A and B are shown apart, each in its own frame.
Chain A
Amino acid sequence: MSLKAGARPDKLAKPPASAHGWVRAAARFAKGREGVLLITLCLLVIVISIGSHGAFWAPVNLNNLMVSAAVTAIPAIGMTLVILTGGIDVSIGSMLGLVAAIGGKFFEAGWSIPAVAPLFCLIGAAFGLVNAAIIIGGRVPPVVATLGTLSIFRMCVFLVLGASWITMIPPELTVIFISDRLWFLPVASVMALVLMAVFAFFLRSFRLGRHIYAIGNNEEAARLAGVPVARIKLYAYTLLGMFTGIAALLTLGQSPLVQTSTGTGFELAVIAAVVLGGTELSGGRGTILGTLLGTLIVGLVNDGVVLMHIQPFWGGVLLGGIILLSIGVNQRWPGRGGEATE
């Protein structure tokens, strides 16, 4: 593996053999980004368990939590890839709404779930391709391009839906993805976990995955080294679109309704989860494990606010506060010396 600049080298090393080594490894993990997140996660669980008088552990709640975390987690994988290349996509909230609206039209027309489900992926990928075309083909900075498509996609949602809502979503959708279980997890969560495992492995061990880190670290150098920069970025945005399509399908399983506001603010939750997970916006650093933990924290905060009967308006305040605190602590006192930029 020639390009391992992206991941921290010590994570790639073999686990130490002696017991003493294990303690040291654990300490190092706790100081790193993922460790901080895991500790935050545990604290949150404890606080919410106490604050909700145990209601947190009710099976219904855990189920809801896992499903909603999965809906965020799947696009978060794509978002991690996009951000690793040094880009960003703030349009996926509107994209989710648009895919749900178009897909919902197919459901209304009486198409079956097996026929429409792949369409969700394809439509999502097509919109991802639109973003990629503007960003890579048109050389528009990602923030500007996707801020633009954020409002364009939302406009299209209105054009597709008109004044009406789509309510004819087949109830089997909920059964398949939400209520059915594999082992003890909802199908949606299993999908998210499998995809995360696949992409964590892909980023770590495949040439294409290492190229993604290389692009984020130094795009020009990567290009000169023969990495097909434009093509890989294209893949990343398209993949994010496809995953957003999957999330749209799962959203319809959660609540069988498409309205003009479907997906509003979704991009914020996903970006928050990815960034909370330690992926740096300048690109080239971040892991899928971090994204998973970030997603869980975002899900826990939202869930906890409801369970602990806090005024829902506090949700945003808490989420923003946790993002700032977690990243601020990590930046101000980095676990391993010499990693702070400049």
Chain B
Amino acid sequence: MGATGFQPGRILLLAALTALALIGFASGDPGILSGANLYSMAVFAVEIGIIAFGQTLVICGGDGGIDLSVGAIAALSQVLMGMALQAGIPWPASVLIAAAGGTVMGAVNGVLVTCFRIEPIITTLATMFVFDGLALVLTGGINIDLTTMPQTFLDLGQGSVFSLPFQLLCIYLPVFVILIALQHRTLFGRSLYLVGTNTLSARLTGIRVDRLRAWTYVIAGLLSGLAGAIGAARLGTASPTASEQANLISIAIVVLGGSSIFGGDGSVVGTAVATVLIGVVNYGLSYNDFNPIYQAGVMGIILIVAVLIENLASGRNWSAVPFLSLAKGKSSG
């Protein structure tokens, strides 16, 4: 485990599940397999997919690494971008502001986790409050309308290239390729696996553990900011409450994709395949008029069942011992 992070078996399983989900939805209504629907599926999946990439790196870093603030970063970044656009700043600079803003917010997380040694889950829980709150304060809780902005900007989330969504072809895939290279072909990526697997031996090997971990938060922030910018362009509005569910869904995707929540295992490739599955399930449910809350619920079920199955497959057997011992009234670990 953790030697390469690359898990062909997991990827095949996810692909099979995705096919199964598609067949299931199609048997309910074959219309879902139309080109237009598959196109929208891709559009919706791109943003959360980008956020999940960052989450993959943070979780891979181990030692409780997790980023609950990704949704808040996306929201605050897109609000910053919206305000910049309204102030008349040209759109490329505004998108840069979103990306830079996300990077800075990620850096705040990284510094708090590594320099101040606050647990990642607490740090990012608190910064989630802070970033979400700042987004609301800056906008007064009102969405910023961006529909009057130049079409070139809106194309960031609405355009298409070779009849594929612009953001899929020109943002998601390049980011994906870069991250594959980063995780599997660079010193940074390989060291990160060691850091996640065994912090102490990584430190003794001479790896700057803290610096490495801090960078994962920075990257997660940058990617969340980018996702926020795409989302705002897609909807033509910058909303302080956008991506509220992003932390849950991104963690679900990462865990589904084969990353160990304890770090040191998993790959962005698995994350990408899991994104497709989640994208299909999400779209299929809303296509069949399910309430978004049910989508989240189904997501929760998938998440838990996936880990349960993985536990069985990897020999971490389920245990009925505590419950049996309760019934017998005897003590046993």
Contacts and interface: CB of A to CB of B under 8 A. Distances in A.
Secondary structure of the B contact surface, majority rule: helix
Contacts of B129: 268, 272, 316-317, 319-320, 323
A231 B134 contact: no
A134 B304 CA distance: 8
A281 B64 CA distance: 9
Contacts of B137: 311, 313-314, 317
A198 B254 CA distance: 41
A156 B121 CA distance: 26
B326 A234 contact: yes
Contact of A137 (B116, B293, B307, B319): B319
B128 interface: yes
Contacts of A323: 122, 125-126, 129
B209 to A, nearest CB: 10
Given A140-B304, A228-B332, A271-B125, A324 B134 contact: no
Q: Which of B125, B294, B321, B331 has the most A CB atoms < 10 Å from its CB? A: B125
Contacts of B316: 139
Interface in B302-333: 303-304, 307-308, 311, 316-323, 325-326, 331-333
A155 B318 contact: no
Nearest to A133: B323
A303 interface: no
A156 B294 CA distance: 9
A147 B248 contact: yes
Interface string A134-148: 101111110111011
A137 B311 contact: no
Secondary structure of the A contact surface, majority rule: helix
B136 interface: yes
B318 A139 contact: yes
A150 interface: yes
Given A137-B318, A155-B294, A143 B125 contact: no
A222 to B, nearest CB: 9
Contacts of B304: 134, 138, 140, 144-145, 148-149, 152
B311 A143 contact: no
A84 B16 CA distance: 40
Contacts of A231: 322, 325-326, 331-333
B126 A155 contact: no
B133 A151 contact: no
B66 interface: yes
Contact of A328 (B112, B125, B255): B112
Nearest to A136: B322
A136 B319 contact: yes
A106 interface: no
Interface in B118-142: 118-119, 121-123, 125-130, 132-134, 136-137, 140-141
Nearest to A318: B133
A29 interface: no
A134 B311 CA distance: 12
A271 B117 CA distance: 18
B307 A144 contact: yes
Interface in B68-119: 112, 115-119
A232 B123 CA distance: 28
Interface in A116-173: 132-134, 136-141, 143-145, 147-152, 154-156, 158
A320 B294 contact: no
A149 B318 contact: no
Interface in B261-290: 261-262
B251 interface: yes
A230 B297 contact: no
A227 interface: yes
B150 interface: no
Given A317-B130, A320-B130, A328 B307 contact: no
Smallest CB-CB A-B distances: 3 pairs: A155-B297, A320-B129, A316-B133
29 contacts: A88-B121, A136-B319, A139-B317, A141-B261, A143-B66, A144-B251, A144-B304, A147-B252, A151-B248, A151-B293, A151-B296, A152-B300, A158-B294, A230-B325, A231-B333, A233-B322, A260-B293, A271-B125, A272-B129, A282-B119, A315-B133, A316-B136, A317-B133, A320-B133, A323-B122, A324-B123, A327-B122, A332-B115, A332-B116
Interface of A: 88, 132-134, 136-141, 143-145, 147-152, 154-156, 158, 223, 226-231, 233-234, 260, 268, 271-272, 275, 280-282, 311, 313-321, 323-324, 327-328, 331-332, 340-341
Given A144-B307, A230-B322, A323-B125, 6 more contacts: A138-B308, A144-B251, A151-B293, A231-B322, A231-B331, A317-B130
Interface of B: 64, 66, 112, 115-119, 121-123, 125-130, 132-134, 136-137, 140-141, 248, 251-252, 255, 261-262, 291, 293-294, 296-301, 303-304, 307-308, 311, 316-323, 325-326, 331-333
